[in-house]
Amino acid sequence: MGKIAIVTDSTADLTKQTAEEYDITVAPLSVNFGDQSFLDGIEISPEKFYEKLKTSDRLPTTSQVSMGGFVEIYKDLAQKFDTIISIHISDKLSGTYQAAVLAAKEFSDVEIVPVNSKTVTTSLAFQVRMAVEEARKGSSKEEILKKLEKTQENQRIYFSVKTLEFLEKGGRIGKAQALVGTLLNIKPILTVDREGYVSPLEKIRGHKKVLQRLAELYGKFIEEHGPNCFQAILHAAAEEEAKGLKKTIEEKFGPQNIEISQLGPVVGTHTGPGAIGIILTPR
Protein backbone atom coordinates (compact mmCIF):
# COMPACT_ATOMS: atom_id res chain seq x y z
CA MET A 1 0.00 0.00 0.00
CA GLY A 2 3.01 2.26 -0.10
CA LYS A 3 2.89 5.27 2.18
CA ILE A 4 -0.86 5.28 2.90
CA ALA A 5 -2.46 3.17 5.65
CA ILE A 6 -6.21 2.51 5.77
CA VAL A 7 -8.05 2.21 9.09
CA THR A 8 -11.70 1.46 9.77
CA ASP A 9 -13.82 0.19 12.65
CA SER A 10 -15.59 -3.07 13.35
CA THR A 11 -18.99 -1.80 12.18
CA ALA A 12 -17.66 -2.38 8.65
CA ASP A 13 -18.29 -6.08 9.42
CA LEU A 14 -15.14 -7.14 7.60
CA THR A 15 -14.17 -10.77 7.96
CA LYS A 16 -10.75 -11.41 9.46
CA GLN A 17 -9.65 -12.87 6.13
CA THR A 18 -10.68 -9.74 4.19
CA ALA A 19 -9.02 -7.41 6.70
CA GLU A 20 -5.78 -9.37 6.38
CA GLU A 21 -6.01 -9.64 2.59
CA TYR A 22 -6.46 -5.86 2.24
CA ASP A 23 -4.09 -5.00 5.11
CA ILE A 24 -6.79 -2.98 6.89
CA THR A 25 -6.45 -2.01 10.54
CA VAL A 26 -9.80 -2.45 12.32
CA ALA A 27 -10.63 -0.57 15.54
CA PRO A 28 -13.15 -2.63 17.54
CA LEU A 29 -16.27 -1.21 19.15
CA SER A 30 -17.71 -3.08 22.14
CA VAL A 31 -20.93 -4.98 22.78
CA ASN A 32 -22.18 -5.05 26.36
CA PHE A 33 -24.45 -7.68 27.90
CA GLY A 34 -25.10 -6.28 31.36
CA ASP A 35 -21.72 -5.99 33.08
CA GLN A 36 -20.02 -8.18 30.46
CA SER A 37 -18.23 -6.32 27.66
CA PHE A 38 -16.87 -7.90 24.46
CA LEU A 39 -14.70 -6.40 21.74
CA ASP A 40 -16.60 -6.70 18.46
CA GLY A 41 -15.09 -9.34 16.19
CA ILE A 42 -12.28 -10.11 18.65
CA GLU A 43 -13.89 -11.40 21.82
CA ILE A 44 -17.28 -12.22 20.29
CA SER A 45 -18.13 -13.50 16.83
CA PRO A 46 -21.42 -12.86 15.01
CA GLU A 47 -22.47 -16.47 15.59
CA LYS A 48 -21.81 -16.32 19.35
CA PHE A 49 -23.48 -12.90 19.56
CA TYR A 50 -26.76 -14.07 18.03
CA GLU A 51 -26.77 -17.18 20.23
CA LYS A 52 -26.20 -15.05 23.32
CA LEU A 53 -28.92 -12.64 22.20
CA LYS A 54 -31.47 -15.49 22.26
CA THR A 55 -30.85 -16.22 25.94
CA SER A 56 -30.22 -12.69 27.24
CA ASP A 57 -32.91 -11.28 29.52
CA ARG A 58 -32.21 -7.73 28.33
CA LEU A 59 -31.06 -6.10 25.13
CA PRO A 60 -27.32 -5.52 24.73
CA THR A 61 -25.78 -2.08 24.30
CA THR A 62 -22.73 -0.89 22.37
CA SER A 63 -19.77 1.38 23.07
CA GLN A 64 -17.82 3.39 20.52
CA VAL A 65 -14.07 3.25 19.99
CA SER A 66 -12.40 5.60 22.47
CA MET A 67 -10.07 8.40 21.51
CA GLY A 68 -7.31 6.53 23.37
CA GLY A 69 -7.97 3.43 21.30
CA PHE A 70 -7.38 5.41 18.13
CA VAL A 71 -4.26 7.07 19.54
CA GLU A 72 -2.70 3.63 20.09
CA ILE A 73 -3.59 2.50 16.56
CA TYR A 74 -2.28 5.68 14.95
CA LYS A 75 0.90 5.59 17.05
CA ASP A 76 1.72 2.13 15.71
CA LEU A 77 0.94 2.98 12.08
CA ALA A 78 2.84 6.29 12.25
CA GLN A 79 6.08 4.29 12.48
CA LYS A 80 5.46 2.75 9.05
CA PHE A 81 3.33 5.20 7.05
CA ASP A 82 3.32 8.88 6.11
CA THR A 83 -0.47 9.14 5.78
CA ILE A 84 -3.38 7.40 7.50
CA ILE A 85 -6.89 7.52 6.03
CA SER A 86 -9.31 6.48 8.78
CA ILE A 87 -12.81 5.67 7.45
CA HIS A 88 -15.64 5.19 9.93
CA ILE A 89 -19.32 4.58 10.62
CA SER A 90 -21.67 7.52 10.03
CA ASP A 91 -21.35 10.19 12.69
CA LYS A 92 -25.16 10.10 12.96
CA LEU A 93 -24.98 6.50 14.20
CA SER A 94 -21.93 6.55 16.50
CA GLY A 95 -19.39 8.84 18.13
CA THR A 96 -16.56 6.72 16.71
CA TYR A 97 -15.75 9.13 13.87
CA GLN A 98 -15.52 12.06 16.30
CA ALA A 99 -13.16 10.05 18.52
CA ALA A 100 -10.95 9.50 15.46
CA VAL A 101 -11.00 13.25 14.73
CA LEU A 102 -9.86 14.05 18.29
CA ALA A 103 -7.16 11.37 18.22
CA ALA A 104 -5.80 12.65 14.89
CA LYS A 105 -5.13 16.05 16.47
CA GLU A 106 -2.63 14.43 18.83
CA PHE A 107 -0.19 13.77 15.96
CA SER A 108 2.07 16.15 14.08
CA ASP A 109 4.57 13.71 12.53
CA VAL A 110 2.02 11.82 10.40
CA GLU A 111 -0.95 13.05 8.39
CA ILE A 112 -4.17 11.47 9.64
CA VAL A 113 -7.39 12.05 7.71
CA PRO A 114 -10.57 10.83 9.43
CA VAL A 115 -13.43 10.21 6.97
CA ASN A 116 -17.12 10.08 7.85
CA SER A 117 -18.42 7.30 5.58
CA LYS A 118 -22.06 8.37 6.17
CA THR A 119 -22.95 4.69 6.22
CA VAL A 120 -22.32 1.42 8.05
CA THR A 121 -21.70 -2.34 7.70
CA THR A 122 -20.77 -3.70 4.24
CA SER A 123 -21.37 -0.31 2.64
CA LEU A 124 -18.59 1.05 4.86
CA ALA A 125 -16.49 -2.02 4.04
CA PHE A 126 -16.83 -1.33 0.33
CA GLN A 127 -15.53 2.22 0.80
CA VAL A 128 -12.59 0.88 2.77
CA ARG A 129 -11.77 -1.79 0.19
CA MET A 130 -11.97 0.76 -2.61
CA ALA A 131 -9.56 3.05 -0.70
CA VAL A 132 -7.09 0.18 -0.35
CA GLU A 133 -7.34 -0.68 -4.05
CA GLU A 134 -6.67 2.95 -4.95
CA ALA A 135 -3.71 3.15 -2.55
CA ARG A 136 -2.23 -0.01 -4.02
CA LYS A 137 -2.52 1.49 -7.51
CA GLY A 138 -0.47 4.45 -6.31
CA SER A 139 -3.28 6.98 -6.06
CA SER A 140 -2.57 10.03 -3.93
CA LYS A 141 -4.38 10.91 -0.72
CA GLU A 142 -6.33 13.60 -2.59
CA GLU A 143 -7.38 11.16 -5.32
CA ILE A 144 -8.56 8.61 -2.75
CA LEU A 145 -10.55 11.19 -0.80
CA LYS A 146 -12.16 12.50 -3.98
CA LYS A 147 -13.20 8.98 -4.99
CA LEU A 148 -14.58 8.32 -1.50
CA GLU A 149 -16.69 11.47 -1.74
CA LYS A 150 -18.09 10.41 -5.11
CA THR A 151 -18.75 6.91 -3.81
CA GLN A 152 -20.72 8.27 -0.86
CA GLU A 153 -22.99 10.23 -3.20
CA ASN A 154 -24.03 7.08 -5.07
CA GLN A 155 -23.95 4.33 -2.41
CA ARG A 156 -27.26 2.72 -1.48
CA ILE A 157 -28.33 0.60 1.46
CA TYR A 158 -31.86 -0.77 1.68
CA PHE A 159 -32.90 -3.02 4.56
CA SER A 160 -35.81 -4.25 6.59
CA VAL A 161 -36.02 -5.33 10.23
CA LYS A 162 -38.39 -7.74 11.96
CA THR A 163 -39.12 -5.11 14.60
CA LEU A 164 -38.15 -1.48 15.20
CA GLU A 165 -37.60 -2.24 18.89
CA PHE A 166 -33.83 -2.66 18.60
CA LEU A 167 -33.28 0.53 16.58
CA GLU A 168 -35.53 2.49 18.93
CA LYS A 169 -34.04 1.25 22.21
CA GLY A 170 -30.52 1.61 20.87
CA GLY A 171 -31.16 5.24 19.92
CA ARG A 172 -30.32 4.63 16.24
CA ILE A 173 -33.82 4.90 14.80
CA GLY A 174 -33.18 8.36 13.33
CA LYS A 175 -35.87 9.54 10.92
CA ALA A 176 -37.71 6.20 11.13
CA GLN A 177 -39.15 7.18 14.52
CA ALA A 178 -42.45 8.01 12.84
CA LEU A 179 -42.93 4.34 11.97
CA VAL A 180 -42.94 3.14 15.59
CA GLY A 181 -46.31 1.70 16.54
CA THR A 182 -47.41 0.81 13.01
CA LEU A 183 -49.37 -2.39 12.38
CA LEU A 184 -47.41 -5.61 12.79
CA ASN A 185 -47.96 -6.71 9.20
CA ILE A 186 -46.55 -3.44 7.83
CA LYS A 187 -42.84 -3.96 7.24
CA PRO A 188 -40.67 -0.90 6.68
CA ILE A 189 -37.93 -0.72 4.11
CA LEU A 190 -35.31 1.55 5.60
CA THR A 191 -32.23 3.23 4.20
CA VAL A 192 -29.21 5.13 5.45
CA ASP A 193 -29.66 8.49 3.76
CA ARG A 194 -26.98 10.80 2.38
CA GLU A 195 -26.61 12.52 5.74
CA GLY A 196 -25.98 9.17 7.41
CA TYR A 197 -29.29 8.83 9.26
CA VAL A 198 -31.52 5.74 9.31
CA SER A 199 -34.56 6.88 7.32
CA PRO A 200 -37.81 5.26 6.17
CA LEU A 201 -38.06 4.54 2.46
CA GLU A 202 -41.30 2.60 2.03
CA LYS A 203 -43.88 0.64 3.99
CA ILE A 204 -44.65 -2.81 2.61
CA ARG A 205 -47.42 -5.20 3.65
CA GLY A 206 -46.00 -8.65 4.35
CA HIS A 207 -42.45 -9.99 4.58
CA LYS A 208 -42.46 -11.78 1.22
CA LYS A 209 -43.26 -8.52 -0.51
CA VAL A 210 -40.30 -6.90 1.29
CA LEU A 211 -37.95 -9.42 -0.36
CA GLN A 212 -39.58 -8.82 -3.74
CA ARG A 213 -39.20 -5.06 -3.32
CA LEU A 214 -35.55 -5.39 -2.35
CA ALA A 215 -34.96 -7.31 -5.59
CA GLU A 216 -36.75 -4.55 -7.53
CA LEU A 217 -34.62 -1.86 -5.87
CA TYR A 218 -31.54 -3.88 -6.81
CA GLY A 219 -32.62 -3.95 -10.46
CA LYS A 220 -33.37 -0.24 -10.49
CA PHE A 221 -29.88 0.57 -9.19
CA ILE A 222 -28.11 -1.70 -11.69
CA GLU A 223 -30.13 -0.16 -14.52
CA GLU A 224 -29.10 3.33 -13.42
CA HIS A 225 -25.45 2.73 -12.46
CA GLY A 226 -24.46 -0.42 -14.34
CA PRO A 227 -23.24 -3.77 -12.98
CA ASN A 228 -19.70 -2.59 -12.12
CA CYS A 229 -20.31 -2.08 -8.43
CA PHE A 230 -19.74 -3.63 -5.04
CA GLN A 231 -22.94 -5.49 -4.19
CA ALA A 232 -23.96 -7.49 -1.17
CA ILE A 233 -26.92 -8.98 0.61
CA LEU A 234 -26.68 -8.41 4.34
CA HIS A 235 -28.50 -10.31 7.05
CA ALA A 236 -28.69 -10.76 10.81
CA ALA A 237 -28.86 -14.50 11.52
CA ALA A 238 -31.06 -14.96 8.44
CA GLU A 239 -28.72 -16.73 6.04
CA GLU A 240 -31.36 -18.84 4.30
CA GLU A 241 -33.44 -15.75 3.52
CA ALA A 242 -30.32 -14.03 2.22
CA LYS A 243 -29.60 -16.97 -0.08
CA GLY A 244 -33.22 -16.91 -1.23
CA LEU A 245 -33.01 -13.20 -2.04
CA LYS A 246 -29.79 -13.79 -3.97
CA LYS A 247 -31.49 -16.54 -5.96
CA THR A 248 -34.47 -14.27 -6.72
CA ILE A 249 -32.16 -11.49 -7.94
CA GLU A 250 -30.19 -13.87 -10.16
CA GLU A 251 -33.36 -15.36 -11.62
CA LYS A 252 -34.54 -11.85 -12.55
CA PHE A 253 -31.29 -10.29 -13.67
CA GLY A 254 -28.92 -13.15 -14.46
CA PRO A 255 -25.72 -14.19 -12.62
CA GLN A 256 -24.41 -11.42 -10.38
CA ASN A 257 -21.32 -10.98 -8.25
CA ILE A 258 -23.28 -10.63 -5.01
CA GLU A 259 -21.59 -11.23 -1.68
CA ILE A 260 -23.58 -12.41 1.34
CA SER A 261 -22.53 -10.68 4.55
CA GLN A 262 -23.71 -11.26 8.11
CA LEU A 263 -24.19 -8.21 10.31
CA GLY A 264 -21.67 -8.21 13.13
CA PRO A 265 -22.40 -7.88 16.85
CA VAL A 266 -22.48 -4.07 17.05
CA VAL A 267 -24.70 -3.52 14.02
CA GLY A 268 -26.79 -6.56 14.94
CA THR A 269 -27.40 -5.04 18.37
CA HIS A 270 -29.27 -2.20 16.69
CA THR A 271 -31.11 -4.10 13.94
CA GLY A 272 -32.00 -7.20 15.90
CA PRO A 273 -32.03 -10.71 14.42
CA GLY A 274 -33.87 -11.29 11.15
CA ALA A 275 -32.81 -8.05 9.46
CA ILE A 276 -32.12 -8.37 5.74
CA GLY A 277 -31.07 -5.91 3.07
CA ILE A 278 -28.98 -5.07 0.03
CA ILE A 279 -25.99 -2.80 -0.37
CA LEU A 280 -24.86 -1.32 -3.67
CA THR A 281 -21.81 0.89 -4.18
CA PRO A 282 -20.43 1.92 -7.59
CA ARG A 283 -16.75 1.23 -8.02
Q: What domains can be seen in the chain, in order of their start residue?
A: 4-29+64-153 (3.40.50.10170), 156-282 (3.30.1180.10)
The string of pLDDT tens digits covering residues 19-52 is 999 999 999 999 999 999 999 999 999 999 999 9
| Helix/strand/coil (H/E/C) assignment for every residue in the chain | CCCEEEEEEHHHCCCHHHHHHCCCEEECCEEEECCEEEEECCCECHHHHHHHHHHCCCCCEEECCCHHHHHHHHHHHCCCCCEEEEEECCCCCCCHHHHHHHHHCCCCCCEEEEEECCCCHHHHHHHHHHHHHHHHHCCCHHHHHHHHHHHHHHCEEEEECCCCHHHHHCCCCHHHHHHCCCCCCEEEEEEECCCCCEEEEEEEECHHHHHHHHHHHHHHHHHHHCCCEEEEEEECCCHHHHHHHHHHHHHHHCCCCCEEEECCHHHHHHHCCCCEEEEEEEC
> Which pTM does this prediction carry?
0.91
The string of pLDDT tens digits covering residues 129-164 is 999 999 999 999 999 999 999 999 999 999 998 876
